[in-house]
Amino acid sequence: MEYVLELAKKAAAEGEVPVGAAAVRTSDGLIAGTGRNTSENSRYPTGHAEITAINSAAEKLGGRRLHGCTLYVTLEPCAMCAGAIINARFDRLVFGAYDSRCGACGSVVDLFNAGLDCRTSVTGGILREECAAVMTEFFSSLRRKKGRYILTPITADDQIRRACAMSGIPAAEIGAYEKRDFIRRRSTPIGLMLTNSGGIKRMIIFNEYKNADIGEIASAVQADIYCSADGGGVADGILRTQNT
């Protein structure tokens, strides 16, 4: 559970709801598959930690049925993920915090005792307080920043690919910057902030958000607009940090 808790924290750092999961083969403790929430960045509604962990475990172990495995997850699975766990034939599910809004292991519904062909045993509440604390801090942070723009780092390859697709900027050009961030309003990415080694910031606002208040965004991310230009389908400006 400590391992999946770290995955959840990584998800939070990427602006995702902090949920982590791992599929473990019971016989030898092999971690066959891992996952963390990616729905916000991937824009896939199925981008839940459990789904990613299940798919990667099935690929690694060479079969769609994961007999002899336990799935560990920081949050009580939703109905979609509970169904996937049942279909994958896990021996056991272990989760941390309960989900009073969407939990499908007893909090809202209990798919594991609903008359389905299910042989998965369920244990909940393991490291419950620690898992719940990560969720609480994440949503508290969002509430504190409601209506404000924040930066989250672009680190993973899939995030860079998404940044390229949304901005039209080649990967090599994005990679040349020392620091790369998504600009987000709450959890939704609306643009990029690219910073070079000299501290000069380039702000790109994605086309669908081109009517956003550039001055408000610049203020929120502690930068002053230095000059601006048409970025070919996106609002593109060069910014300078306030302390330069």
In this structure, what token pair is assigned to residue 59?
């690929």
Residue with tokens 């959840």: 8
Q: Please tell me which residue in 50, 59, 129, 178 is annotated as part of the active site.
A: 50
Catalytic: 50? yes
Residue with tokens 């609480």: 136
In this structure, what token pair is assigned to residue 62?
């060479």
Structural element, H or E, at residue 88: helix 79-88
Q: Sign (positive/negative) of CA torsion 77, 80, 81, 82?
A: positive
Write the CA distances from 103 to 40, 45, 56, 79, 108, integer angstroms: 20, 17, 23, 7, 5
Alpha-carbon span 121 to 23, nearest angstrom: 14
3-state helix, strand, coil in the chain (%, to 5): 35, 30, 35
Runs of H (alpha helix) within 145-187: 157-167, 171-175
Structural element, H or E, at residue 238: strand 235-241
Check: CB of residue 202 under 8 Å from CB of residue 169. no
Structural element, H or E, at residue 161: helix 157-167
Q: What number of other Cβ atoms are within 10 A of residue 170's Cβ?
A: 10
Active site residues: 50
